[in-house]
Amino acid sequence: MGNNSQDEFSNLGIKKSLEVKTLVVIDPEENSGKGYRTQLLNEAISSAYRRRASGIHLIVSSKAEETKKFLLNKDFKVVHSFEMQDEGGELLYHAIEKADNQKRKTHLPSKVQENERNDREKKRKVSPNFQGDKLPSQHHDLTLKGQYLFQIKNGSKTVEGRIFSGQFTRYREGDTIRFFNRNDSVTCRIKAVNSFNTFKEMMQHCGVHACLPDANSLEDGVAAYHKIPNFSDRERRSGVVSFEIERQPDYRVY
């Protein structure tokens, strides 16, 4: 994927668009139908949104009919056709819908889930026995301060906020997280995932006390997040993500 938004095709009406170099799933025979391409595409769209690009574009070979069909089903449009060496190619473009300028929040993971549901519905019409291609849920281990661990266990903290980068771009609804420190742990299921530009927007949407039960106000909550080293700068670069969590029962063997 390109590092910056491009104006290479501005004469075709595509300005400040992020170029995707490749969209490849390794070992397609083994991984086809598991939703991995949708996950990759979602992360590309998320990256373009954070960089305030107008959309994303890529060139597809005329021989890659399956890839073209996949992208057209994801609201890409064919903008231009041309010849490339020994074969033809097409320029496909997807415009990113900007959120309200005041709130400027987006729910990209939810959009991916909507796309996957639409894909499954189309396949059911063809094959009544289709079981779906939802990505398998995953388990994550995450360190957490004792005070927040206690709040999750007593039910007062129901949202965990993090910088939207690295491993946290791969967390999905239905995944489980084991929050732990040296003395204790608790396992939760992710009920919903939402991404925002700032912690302030996150708390306005999710509720201050759902994120930080001890915060006296929205401003106190923002200050608590910004007190974490480098979080203010990383927030500006990457945005933030919220995980709505639900505590899971403790299972013990006696």
- Greatest mean pLDDT among 7-11, 131-135, 182-186 lies in 182-186
Q: Cα separation of 224 and 230, whole Å?
A: 12
* pLDDT score of 173 more than 50: yes
Weakest-pLDDT range from 10-14, 65-69, 76-80, 184-188: 10-14
Q: What per-residue confidence (pLDDT) applies to 124?
A: 43
* pTM of this prediction exceeds 0.75: no
Percent of the chain with pLDDT over 90: 39
- According to DSSP, the residues that pair with 58 across neighbouring strands are 92
Weakest-pLDDT range from 44-48, 60-64, 112-116: 112-116
Q: Which domains does the chain have, with CATH numbers?
A: 5-126 (3.40.630.30), 139-247 (2.30.130.30)
- In this prediction, residues 166-186 reach a mean pLDDT of 91
Q: What per-residue confidence (pLDDT) applies to 101?
A: 33
